[in-house]
Amino acid sequence: MKLQQLDFTVFIAYVIGLLCIALWISRNDHKGDRNTEDYFLASKSLPWWAIGASLIASNISAEQIIGMSGSGYAIGLAIASYEWMAAITLVIVGKYLLPIFLKNNIFTMPQYLEQRFDSRVKTTLALFWLAVFIFVNLTSVLWLGGLAIQTVAGVDWMFGMIFLAVFSVAYSLYGGLKAVAYTDIIQVVLLVFGGLFLSYLALNTIADGTGFIAGFNILTEKIPSHFDMILETDNPNYMSLPGLSVLIGGLWVMNIGYWGFNQYIIQRALAAKNIQEAQKGIVFAAFLKLLMPIIVVLPGIAAIILYPNLTSPDQAYPSMMGLMPVGIKGLVFAALVAAIVSSLASMTNSISTIFTMDIYKNIVPAKSQRHYVHIGRIATLVSLCIALITAEPLLGKFDQAFQYIQEFTGLFSPGITAIFLMGMFWKRATSSGALASAIGSAVFSVAFKFLWPELPFMDRIGLVFLLCIALTVAVSLLGEKPATDSSVSLGEINFSTERSFNISALVVVVILVILYGTWW
Q: What is the pLDDT of residue 304?
A: 94
User: Which residues are within 8 A (CB) of 140 and not within 5 positions of it... i.e. 6 or more apart?
Assistant: 63, 391, 395, 401, 402, 405
| 32 pLDDT above the threshold of 60 | no
Distance CA 383, CA 410 (A): 22
Q: What percent of the chain has pLDDT over 90?
A: 48
Distance CA 150, CA 158 (A): 9
CA distances from 129 to 74, 139, 321, 379, 453 (A): 32, 14, 35, 14, 27
DSSP 8-state code for residue 473: H
Q: Quick check: helix, strand or coil at residue 310?
A: coil
Q: What is the pLDDT of residue 402?
A: 58
Kindly report, residue by residue over 214-235, the tens digit of the pLDDT: 999 999 999 998 999 998 888 8
State which amino acid sits at residue 419: I
| 463 pLDDT above the threshold of 60 | yes
| 400 pLDDT above the threshold of 60 | no
CA distances from 293 to 51, 205, 213 (A): 21, 19, 16
DSSP 8-state code for residue 137: I
Q: What is the pLDDT of residue 491?
A: 86
Distance CA 480, CA 472 (A): 13
| 203 pLDDT above the threshold of 90 | yes
| 323 pLDDT above the threshold of 60 | yes
Torsion of CA 453, 458, 462, 465, to 10 degrees: 80
Neighbours of 109 (CB within 10 A): 27
- Detail the DSSP E strand segments found in 95-246: none
Q: What is the pLDDT of residue 34?
A: 62
Kindly report, residue by residue over 295-319, the tens digit of the pLDDT: 999 999 999 999 988 888 878 888 8
Distance CA 111, CA 354 (A): 9
**pLDDT-wise least confident of 168-182, 274-288, 383-397:** 168-182
Alpha helices in 297-397 (DSSP H): 298-306, 316-320, 328-354, 361-363, 369-395
- Phi, psi angle pair for 272, to nearest 5°: -75, 155
Distance CA 494, CA 100 (A): 9
424-441: average pLDDT: 94
Contact between residue 245 and residue 459 where contact means Cβ atoms under 8 Å apart: yes
State which amino acid sits at residue 361: K
Q: What is the pLDDT of residue 448?
A: 94
Q: What is the pLDDT of residue 311?
A: 83
- Phi, psi angle pair for 46, to nearest 5°: -70, 135
- Detail the DSSP E strand segments found in 103-166: none
510-516: average pLDDT: 94
Torsion of CA 135, 140, 141, 146, to 10 degrees: 120
Q: What is the pLDDT of residue 360?
A: 94
- Look over the chain and give the mean of its residue pLDDT values, rounded to a whole number: 88
Q: What is the pLDDT of residue 144?
A: 81
Q: What is the pLDDT of residue 31?
A: 55
Q: Which residues pair with 272 in a beta bridge?
A: 46
Contact between residue 481 and residue 458 where contact means Cβ atoms under 8 Å apart: no
Q: What is the pLDDT of residue 24?
A: 82
Q: What is the pLDDT of residue 398?
A: 60
Contact between residue 491 and residue 269 where contact means Cβ atoms under 8 Å apart: no
DSSP 97-112: IHHHHHHTT-SSHHHH
**pLDDT-wise least confident of 28-37, 324-333, 379-388, 437-446:** 28-37
DSSP 475-500: HHHHSPPPS---SPPGGG------HH
| 403 pLDDT above the threshold of 70 | no
| 399 pLDDT above the threshold of 70 | no
| 207 pLDDT above the threshold of 60 | yes
pTM for the full model?
0.91
Q: Is 31 exposed, middle or buried (0-12, 13-18, 19+ CB in 10 A)?
A: exposed
User: Which residues are within 8 A (CB) of 491 and not within 5 positions of it... i.e. 6 or more apart?
Assistant: none
Kindly report, residue by residue over 58-77, the tens digit of the pLDDT: 888 766 788 788 889 989 99
Contact between residue 105 and residue 353 where contact means Cβ atoms under 8 Å apart: no
| 385 pLDDT above the threshold of 70 | yes
Kindly report, residue by residue over 435-460, the tens digit of the pLDDT: 999 999 999 999 999 999 999 989 99
| 404 pLDDT above the threshold of 70 | no
Distance CA 237, CA 71 (A): 10
Distance CA 23, CA 371 (A): 21
178-190: average pLDDT: 82
Kindly report, residue by residue over 107-161, the tens digit of the pLDDT: 889 999 999 999 999 999 999 899 989 988 899 889 888 888 887 788 898 999 9
| 48 pLDDT above the threshold of 60 | yes
> Quick one: pLDDT band at residue 401, thresholds 50, 70, 90?
low
Domains along the sequence of the chain with CATH: 5-482+495-518 (1.20.1730.10)
| 38 pLDDT above the threshold of 80 | no
> Quick one: pLDDT band at residue 481, thresholds 50, 70, 90?
confident
The conformational region for residue 298 under phi > 0 = left, psi -120 to 50 = alpha, else beta, is alpha
Q: What is the pLDDT of residue 172?
A: 73
Residues in the chain: 520
Contact between residue 144 and residue 63 where contact means Cβ atoms under 8 Å apart: yes
